[in-house]
Amino acid sequence: MPVYKQKTIAKSVETSGVGLHTGKPVRMEFLPAPVNSGIRFQRMDLPDKPVIRADIDEVSEVFRGTTIGKAPESVNTVEHVMSAIFGLGISNLLIAITGGEPPAEDGSARPLIKLLKDAGIVEQDAVDDEIFLSDSFMVQDGNKSIYYRPSDKFEVTFTMDYSRQKLFQVKHFIFSDDAYENSISMARTFGFVHEFEMLREKQLALGGSLENAVVVNLDGSVLNKEGLRDPEEFVKHKILDLIGDLSLIGRRFRGHIIACRSGHALNIKFAKLFREKFNQYKRKNTTMMDIEAIREILPHRYPFLLVDRILSVDPGKSANGIKNVTANEPFFNGHFPDKRVMPGVLIVEAMAQLAGIIFLSLPEHKGKLPYFVGIDHCRFRKQVVPGDRLEMTATALRVRGNTGKVSCVAQVDGEEAAGGELMFTII
């Protein structure tokens, strides 16, 4: 499983235009932000300049767009901006905006992709968390549905069906930064001629025009002179919107998202359930494990199971555990029996077993075996003797596919006994 670094931009950049629904002029500036701050909007036109987190818990409206915050301290139609940010893998950003809705641009995310790339995207010294579930689930509303099933990548299958306009498209998309930019970001928002009067009665689509939207006739033809940018532009824009809405989860994610006729309301319902299920999974997997629970994860058995208890584990990232060194350990019978000292290689093995738990606790590695393939910078600084409690910490440094490197430290009474970097493969 790859380890991602958080990202922000190198310098501030801005854009301006009119809001798709409000029709009002607005200026929007993207500014670099520190690690773990996430994506935030700041309403510069309001007296207190309130900051609104781009988060599913802040969603207040989902009709014809996704709104975060509560009026008047809100920002409407954030999905295109959020989709572009997610598409570039940006984790931290402050968006200063002088109105209640981002500029419509050309109705797609492509101008925003260019703007943010011009600002320069830089890695930060922190890990970008990724969420994943091992169980499938579904949300449904009438004939609309979103189904999740596990996958080792982020992929979307979207079925769009507007029977009245004879618009039916299905698209399978495997996410990567390049694939998003080249295939999805250019897709413009679209609407139907017969809906405009209804929308404007509701004070919506006031800024909509052929310059920032594809307008569709009842027969499925388009009014825009240049036509479509891509035969699949309609369904690709639905994927663009879905990614923007799911980005409000606030983390990278993996899994196959299978959506049928979904819109903003169901997207947000799905996103909330996804994060809730992940939080439940994480709480379950970060609790203390006794020896029986450890035996369910590690393949080792007496006399070579060298971890007695797991104090905490963050799957794929880190773990803390202990080994109680007793006088009746079988290796003491032959290893300096007159002056009993735990063999250094067994301390390393204990740390390696703890490192194995980090990755074997991930659903995709259940039932696999961890194999030691290398040791770097290993040092032994203190003898470990009967009666000692070996307290161990393992932290993932790099993971690529089924191989990786983990930093491990073992202490006794707060003093380092051994430490090093261990390489492994899982098969």
pLDDT at site 318: 86
Could you tell me the two tokens for 68? 């975060």
Q: How far apart are CA 188 and CA 47, in angstroms?
A: 34
Among 21, 237, 256, 264, the active-site one is: 264
Which structural domain, as residue segments, surrounds residue 261? Answer: 4-283
| Interatomic CA distance for residues 366 and 357, integer angstroms | 10
- Phi, psi values for residue 81, rounded to 5°: -60, -45
Whether residues 296 and 274 share a domain: the answer is: no
Name the domain count of the chain.
Answer: 2
Domain co-membership, 118 together with 89 = yes
- Would you state the structure tokens that stand for residue 137, as one six-digit string? 């689930």
Structure tokens at 308: 């007695």
Query: Tell me: the pLDDT tens digits for 252-282?
Result: 999 999 999 999 999 999 999 999 998 887 7
Last residue of a domain, one of 249, 283, 317: 283
39 and 129 in a common domain: yes
Q: What is the pTM of this model?
A: 0.70
Contact 66, 79 (CB under 8 A): yes
Per-residue pLDDT reduced to its tens digit, 137-166: 999 999 999 999 999 899 999 999 998 878
Of 243, 264, 283, which closes a domain?
Answer: 283
Do 310 and 216 lie in one domain? The reply is no
Q: What does the mean pLDDT of the chain come to?
A: 90
Same domain, residue pair 262 and 334: no
pLDDT higher than threshold 60 for residue 1: no
Do both 348 and 279 map to the same domain? Answer: no
HSE of 238, CA atoms in CB hemisphere, 13 A: 28
Predicted confidence band of residue 114 (pLDDT cuts 50, 70, 90): very high
Q: Which of 254, 283, 312 is the last residue of a domain?
A: 283
Q: Are 26 and 75 in contact (CB under 8 A)?
A: no
Between residues 301 and 117, the one the model is more confident about? 117
Highest mean pLDDT of the ranges 79-83, 313-317, 319-323: 79-83
> HSE of 350 in the Cβ direction (CA atoms, 13 Å)?
30
Catalytic residue among 21, 335, 365, 377: 335
Whether 377 is a known active-site residue: answer no
Question: What was the pLDDT predicted at 286?
Answer: 58
Q: How confident is the model at residue 368 (pLDDT cuts 50, 70, 90)?
A: confident
CATH of the domain at 241: 3.30.1700.10
Cα separation, 315 vs 360, whole angstroms: 8
Q: Can you give the pLDDT at residue 2?
A: 61
Residues 6+ away with beta carbon under 8 Å from 70: 60
Shared domain check, 296 and 276? no
Please indicate, yes or no, whether residues 271 and 337 belong to a single structural domain of this protein. no
Q: What is the mean pLDDT of residues 348-377?
A: 85
Whether residues 158 and 241 share a domain: the answer is yes
* Residue 295 shares a structural domain with residue 259: no
Percent of the chain with pLDDT over 90: 60
Per-residue pLDDT of 59-98, as tens digits, reads 999 988 999 999 999 999 999 999 999 999 999 999 999 9
Query: 406: closest CA among 362, 370, 380?
Result: 370
Q: Are residues 392 and 250 in the same domain?
A: no
What pLDDT shows up at residue 218?
81
Q: Is 264 a catalytic residue?
A: yes
Q: Does 152 lie in the same domain as 182?
A: yes
**Residue 392 pLDDT more than 60?**
yes
CATH number at residue 359: 3.10.129.10
What is the C-alpha to C-alpha distance for residues 8 and 95, in angstroms, rounded to an integer? 12
Q: What is the pLDDT of residue 130?
A: 84
